[in-house]
Amino acid sequence: MEQLQAFWSGLPDLSGIVIHFGVTLAILVIGWAVSNLLGRWMRHIADRSARIDPTIVPMIRSVTVWAVRIVVLLAVLARLGVQTASLVAMLGASALAIGLALQGTLQNFAAGIMLLVLRPVRAGEFVSIGSQGSGTVDEIGLFMTRFVQVDGIQILLPNTLVWGSPITNYSRNKTRRLDIMLGVRYDDDLEAALATLRSLIDRHDDILADPAPQVMVMEYRDSTIMVNVRAWALAEKYWDVYFDLQRRAPQALRQAGLRTPIPLREVQSIPVSSQKDKTVNA
């Protein structure tokens, strides 16, 4: 009996072990849930606030969530008896080795930081990225930027390609200028055509009065005088105004009695006898 009592007394306290592991598991679960809740809370606050640029929300959310998760994992390892100081040193050395092996990925990360700091593109803007394509910016992530083309196709570009390419931003300014070329026949009334087009753009509700719209003769072609209609509109209404003028301008010219310009060629007929006389004289 004495030996049996000594054996039982030498065993570890099972209840204490269970409680210890239960607390550790609770820290892990609660910390992971808190990180997810914090990420959703940040996105919710950004969606409701007009002062927060939606471009920076995905990256800040990811950094915040994973920062909380790393702290939680370190706390769990510390409760399990792991020496976190040596673990952090080992992770630092591993991170250095991984960073050297993944230089391209780190370049994408650095380019993403530059995109967020300087903000040449923002979420919701329509841009063209050099020869890579064009579309509306949907999200700038840690390593890639997501665009949605006008046909609904999604494009993912590494941040280095976005940062290292010429960026044409069509949405940054509030207004855009549109140019429409129209043809007038040489034998039609040019002044009537100019007056008709000026009246059309002056009566258009979505064309801005400042800068003032212009109707100008641009060039002379073989059978057509090219007239340029130049007007300004809000950036979000640019394509509506453009397509509307493309439809209404030719109709207005026809209603004013002007004909649609077509290519004309002058053909001269020389009698056969004249050709023979020229040949004999030669």
Task: Tell me the C-alpha distance between 215 and 130, whole Å.
Answer: 32
What three-state secondary structure class fits 270? coil
pLDDT in tens, 216-227: 999 998 889 999
C-alpha distances (whole Å) from 47 to each of 51, 129, 145 are 10, 27, 19
pLDDT of residue 22: 79
Cis preceding linkage at 211, omega within 30: yes
Domain 120-169 shares a fold with domain 175-255: no
Does pLDDT of 246 surpass 50? yes
pLDDT of residue 194: 94
pLDDT of residue 49: 66
pLDDT in tens, 135-156: 999 888 878 899 999 899 999 9
Return mean pLDDT, the chain. 81
pLDDT of residue 108: 85
Domains of the chain, residue spans: 11-101, 120-169, 175-255
pLDDT in tens, 98-128: 555 555 677 888 888 888 888 889 888 999 9
pLDDT in tens, 193-203: 999 999 999 99
pLDDT of residue 116: 81
Mean predicted confidence (pLDDT) in 66-80 = 79
pLDDT of residue 169: 92
pLDDT in tens, 170-183: 999 999 999 999 99
Domain 120-169 indexed as CATH 2.30.30.60: yes
The closest alpha carbon to 89, from 69, 104, 76, 74, belongs to 74
pLDDT of residue 250: 92
pLDDT of residue 142: 79
Task: Tell me the C-alpha distance between 10 and 21, whole Å.
Answer: 20
β-strand 154-158 against 167-169: which pairing, if any?
Answer: unpaired
Q: 61 near 39, Cβ under 8 Å?
A: yes
- Rounded to two decimals, the pTM is 0.60
pLDDT of residue 28: 82
Mean predicted confidence (pLDDT) in 158-166 = 91
pLDDT in tens, 1-42: 565 455 455 545 556 667 767 778 888 888 888 888 888 887
Mean predicted confidence (pLDDT) in 62-85 = 76
Confidence of residue 269 (pLDDT cuts 50, 70, 90): confident
> Which percentage of the chain shows pLDDT scores above 90?
35
pLDDT in tens, 36-68: 888 888 777 766 766 666 666 776 777 778 788
Which CATH architecture does the domain made up of 11-101 adopt? Answer: Orthogonal Bundle (1.10)
> 126-141: buried (b, 16+ CB within 10 Å) or exposed (e) per residue?
bbbbeeeeebbbbbbb
Domain 175-255 indexed as CATH 3.40.50.1000: no
Task: Tell me the C-alpha distance between 265 and 184, whole Å.
Answer: 16
- As beta bridge partners, residue 140 has 145
pLDDT of residue 11: 46
